[in-house]
Amino acid sequence: MSVVSGERILQVQHPARTLANRQEPRWPMSRIVGLLPIVIPGTVLLLAILGSAFAPWIALYDPNALDMQATLSGPTADHWLGTDQLGRDQLSRLLYGGRSTMLIAGLGVCGVIGIGLVVGTLAGYFGGRIDLGLSAFLTVLLALPTLLLTLAILGILGPGTNSLMLAIIGAGWVGHARIFRSSILSLRQRPYIEAAHSMGASSSLILRRHLWPNLFTTIVVLATLDIGALILTISSLSFLGLGVQPPTADWGTMLNEARPFVGQLPILAIVPGICISVVSLSSNMLGDAIRDVVDIGRRNR
């Protein structure tokens, strides 16, 4: 439920610990097999992103077009995944729903990482009172479950897509800021940074040239993992009626609208649920796999 939960923070924070313990590949074939954990979820995620991005061109129907003559039909030649209570084509709604869900998740990830990076850099690089103040603030915010913060912000702003985005960003950046802060803190103490400092390099140059590029892999891993976590948060809030508002198709709202019909036409609830699970699963697997590869790369260096 939380954006990036504790064990991930700990894992990302200590890449050295996991890399030392990774087993040596036993077979030469393992190179190919080893890539599968990246290729498979990566392909699934890519398909989902493409499907959502090109939904207007792929979908055969307007996702909000009603057809009262064809309500609640099961899968047919015209409607591969059937229609809902208003005769709307489920496949089209699923594609558009993915679009809405993934767009919010994508923007959410950008916001969460962006704010986290800025705050983390401020605290970790400049240290001193700024660090003290920010760290205290972060500690306080981290004392609350992310979903609770999200709900609290959503409570102030009122439900809706924009509020949902603000709420997940407003509650999600805290954990990231802490990770970035400690990464930058440890990077800053490396000899070559100290050297750059003593050679009179400006702070912005050091940040751009040396510190931020070093965070790149952490950012990729966090972002990939975030997508999965955010999709779960977005869909559960939309499901509760607090997120994306009908009739906009969204996987969470679709599930909510399907509830009365679960017994009659289970496919209405099953398919969006599978979509959420598969995309979230893929992003988790991909994130894990990238992290493993990065760790191996570091070890071989």
Subset of 127-166 contacting another protein (CB under 8 A): 135-136, 139-140, 143-148, 151-152, 154-160
| Residue 126 makes contact with another protein by CB under 8 A | no
By C-beta, is 155 or 297 nearer to another protein? Answer: 155
Q: Backbone phi, then psi, for 83, in 5-degree steps?
A: -130, 160
Rounded Cα distance between 56 and 59, Å, is 6
Q: For residue 104, state whether it binds another protein (rule: CB under 8 A).
A: no
User: For 28, phi and psi rounded to 5 degrees?
Assistant: -65, -35
Residues within window 21-80 making contact with another protein, judged by CB under 8 A: 21, 23, 64-66, 68, 71
Nearer to another protein, 84 or 211 (CB): 84
Region from 8-16, 48-56, 74-82, 92-100 binding another protein, contact rule CB under 8 A: 8-16
Contact map string, positions 209 to 238, toward another protein, x by CB under 8 A: -------------------x---x--xx--
Q: How many CA atoms lie within 13 A of 197 on its CB side?
A: 12
Nearer to another protein, 226 or 288 (CB): 288
Give me the least distance between CB of 54 and another protein, in Å please. Answer: 24
Smaller CB distance to another protein: residue 142 or 201?
142
Neighbours of 101 (CB within 10 A): 29
Closest approach of another protein to the CB of residue 240, in Å: 6
**CA separation for the pair 101, 230 (Å, rounded):** 9
Q: Which residues contact 268 (CB under 8 A, 6 or more apart)?
A: 82, 84, 90, 254, 258, 261, 262
Q: Contact between 276 and another protein (CB under 8 A)?
A: yes
Work out the angle at residue 139's Cα, subtended by the Cα atoms of residues 214 and 122, and round it to the nearest 5 degrees. 40
